[in-house]
């Protein structure tokens, strides 16, 4: 007789968030009431009973403290507040992208101007720009052209950005990163 198939839900991962009520492992806990007052140290069963009498839950706020600090609050409201706080902090974050502009040492002036205009637009938007000057074949003998091009890029983007990683040779290319002011 083959083994019965296990249910998908039997493979659940451990629950997320702080431990609550019976999941708290400590024998004694420091209890903070629902209105924020420190009630003192209690045995875990006694603390859970106090929370149940108020119709609330006991949540482990600081598990690494000695004894662990627990608070009497409503679990649903507590998780909702954490979610709101996380969303609010996420909204304030600015994601900085790294845009790359590739050039050659023999890039024509019109193409160069076009690429510099794009780089300035990226920098004004708040993104970093990585400039790459790639050498092919016999161009490797004229690396001074690439260095002059990088100096020109630094001068042209000085108004909106400053050099974060100065020009350096990596294989057959020179790389430089400019960040916004």
CATH 3.30.110.10 at 98-180, yes or no:
yes
Res. 119: pLDDT tops 90: yes
Q: Which of 145, 127, 134 is nearest to 175 (CA)?
A: 134
Residues 88-114 have pLDDT tens digits of: 988 888 788 899 999 999 999 999 999
Beta bridge partners of 60: 70
CA dist., res. 51 & res. 34, Å (int): 9
> Does 8 score more than 70 pLDDT?
no
* Predicted TM-score (pTM) of this structure: 0.55
Contact 97, 127 (CB under 8 A): yes
d(CA 109, CA 155): 15
Q: What pLDDT score was predicted for residue 5? A: 62
Alpha-carbon dihedral sign for residues 111, 116, 117, 118 = positive
Nearest-CA neighbor of 127 among 178, 64, 55, 71? 178
pLDDT, greater one: 95 or 28: 28
Pick 27 or 3 by higher pLDDT: 27
Average pLDDT, the chain: 89
How far, in Å, CA of 80 to CA of 91, rounded? 17
Provide the residue ranges of all domains of the chain, joining segments of one domain with +: 14-90, 98-180
* pLDDT computed for residue 15 by the predictor: 67
Q: Which CATH class is domain 14-90?
A: alpha beta
């Amino acid at each position: 007789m083959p083994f019965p198939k296990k249910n998908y839900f039997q493979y659940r991962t451990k629950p997320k968030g702080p431990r609550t009520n019976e999941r708290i492992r400590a024998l004694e806990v420091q209890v903070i009431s629902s209105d924020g007052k420190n009630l003192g140290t209690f045995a875990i069963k006694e603390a859970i009973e106090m929370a149940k009498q108020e119709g609330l839950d006991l949540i482990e706020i600081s598990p690494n403290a000695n004894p662990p600090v627990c608070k009497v609050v409503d679990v649903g409201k507590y998780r909702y507040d954490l979610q709101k706080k996380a969303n609010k902090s996420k909204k304030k974050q600015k994601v900085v992208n790294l845009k790359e502009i590739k050039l050659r040492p023999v890039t024509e002036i019109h193409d160069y101007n076009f690429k510099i205009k794009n780089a300035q637009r990226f920098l004004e938007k708040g993104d970093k720009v990585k400039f790459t000057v790639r050498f092919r074949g016999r161009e490797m003998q004229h690396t001074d052209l690439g260095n002059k091009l990088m100096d020109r890029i630094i001068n042209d983007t000085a108004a909106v950005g400053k050099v974060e990683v100065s020009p350096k040779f990596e294989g057959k290319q020179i790389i430089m990163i400019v960040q916004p002011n």
